[in-house]
Amino acid sequence: MPDPYRNRDGLGGAFRGAAATLDDDAPFRREHAGPPDRDDDLDAPLLAKRISKSEIIYTTSQLSIMVDTGITLSAALAGILEQETNPTLRKVLKDLRDSVESGEDFSTALAKHPKYFGRTYVSLIKASEATGTLGEMLERVAGYLRKEVEMRNRIRASMAYPMVMFVMAIGVTIFLLTYVMPKFIPIFESRGAALPAPTRILIAVSGAFVNYWYFWLAGLVALVAGVLYARRTDWGRQGWDAVKISLPLIGTTYRKVVISRCLRTLATMIASGVSIIEAIKLTAEVSGNYHYQQLWLRVLDQVTAGRRIHEALVGNPLFPSVLVQMITSGEETGKLDYVMRRVSDYYDQEVEASLKLTTSLIEPIMIALMGVVVGGIGLALMLPVFSLSKPA
């Protein structure tokens, strides 16, 4: 008879009892047949495959369904493990299963993998363990993560075309200066005529590119390295985050993205029973912007001192006054999580509209810029031709 140990019920709650063997879950395992759980399959390859956010969402949704149907948490993890093909995720799932079977809380097991399960994820699961609502909370976490991924994908899709146009403009310019222009220089020199100022400037720039390309390359590498280093420092992060919220066109949209993320996180935390202090701490962490993070930390200090959230936000330029009024209403009526969730959904719609507007404005600007650059180079090439073709 197996030794008793701490096990889990269908909602992930802990109890003392006989250890469940593989035969106890045999019907479930036969129904969800998959590759055998072999330790050699879980060895990390030389270049470990990454775990995408979509895989985390899918796994969380699967767990939610299984736990809600009464399957024990360890059996649910084992079932998902058998079907999973990503070796890195399989290793994580095996560790989670082993930790749960050994008696650890699910939140504690998740906290061992902060790269894949952030503090928000862990805190929500921890709150559900105290209330016995693990299945419901897993679905809520999956919905929260899904919203974040959808927003990120929407932003990337909206900015893809302008970025392609920008790269094309740079590529065409370099091609004209390093390949086309040198073909014309011998022709101009052979005629010995005075060249127009735009053409002389273009010849000088072309010569700098062709003759000193290694300096340009070294400068580009140094610039990229400097930017990457600066973003790892506090002052670099402060400066870059300040630029992002102050840029014309893009800055307004970026602010709405950050506000929506903060409010959605805070609403999810409060609705899940997380303390307001812990909820504000996690909101500051997930804000994704240094200045909004500092704002929420100041709010935390004031709330800890006894003030309410809307009182700490009044007059701050990072939060619109209308939004502060909505938060005031939510606090006074005791429906803060509901109000914040509604406002977050509203800001998601605003972000989508802002992205469409920003893209519609950036596209013609990029096309015009590309036309000016290419047209200017073409005009500088043709001006000497026109002057040389004139009769003396």
pLDDT at 345: 86
Whether the pTM exceeds 0.75: the reply is no
**pLDDT grade for 55, boundaries at 50, 70 and 90:** very high
93 close to 84: Cβ distance less than 8 angstroms: yes
Domains and CATH numbers, the chain: 4-117 (no CATH), 154-392 (1.20.81.30)
pLDDT at 1: 39
Burial 188-210 (b: 16+ CB within 10 A, else e): beeeeeebbeebeebbeebeebe
Mean pLDDT of the chain: 81
* Per-residue pLDDT tens over the stretch 345-364: 888 888 888 888 888 888 88
Max mean pLDDT among 34-38, 129-133, 305-309 falls in: 305-309
pLDDT at 92: 92
Dihedral sign of CA atoms 124, 129, 134, 136 in order: negative
Structure token pair of residue 85: 């093909």
**CB neighbours of residue 293 within 10 Å:** 19
**pLDDT grade for 48, boundaries at 50, 70 and 90:** low
pLDDT at 9: 44
pLDDT at 218: 93
Does the structure show a pLDDT above 50 at 187?
A: yes
Distance CA 224, CA 218 (A): 10
Does the structure show a pLDDT above 50 at 117?
A: yes
* Per-residue pLDDT tens over the stretch 130-178: 777 888 889 888 988 898 888 888 888 888 888 888 888 888 888 888 8
User: How open is the CA angle 160-162-165, to the nearest 5 degrees?
Assistant: 110
Q: What is the mean pLDDT of residues 369-376?
A: 85
Distance CA 120, CA 258 (A): 16
Q: What is the mean pLDDT of residues 255-272?
A: 87
pLDDT at 98: 93
131 compared with 298, residue with greater pLDDT? 298
Q: What is the mean pLDDT of residues 311-322?
A: 89
Residues whose CB is less than 8 angstroms from the CB of residue 391 and which lie 6 or more positions away in sequence, other chains included? none
Does the structure show a pLDDT above 70 at 263?
A: yes
Does the structure show a pLDDT above 50 at 20?
A: no
Percent of the chain with pLDDT over 70: 86
User: How open is the CA angle 271-276-278, to the nearest 5 degrees?
Assistant: 105
Distance of CA 75 to the CA centre of its chain: 32
Q: What is the mean pLDDT of residues 40-47?
A: 45
CA distances from 121 to 161, 190, 272, 278, 316 (A): 33, 72, 11, 13, 29
Q: What is the mean pLDDT of residues 110-122?
A: 89
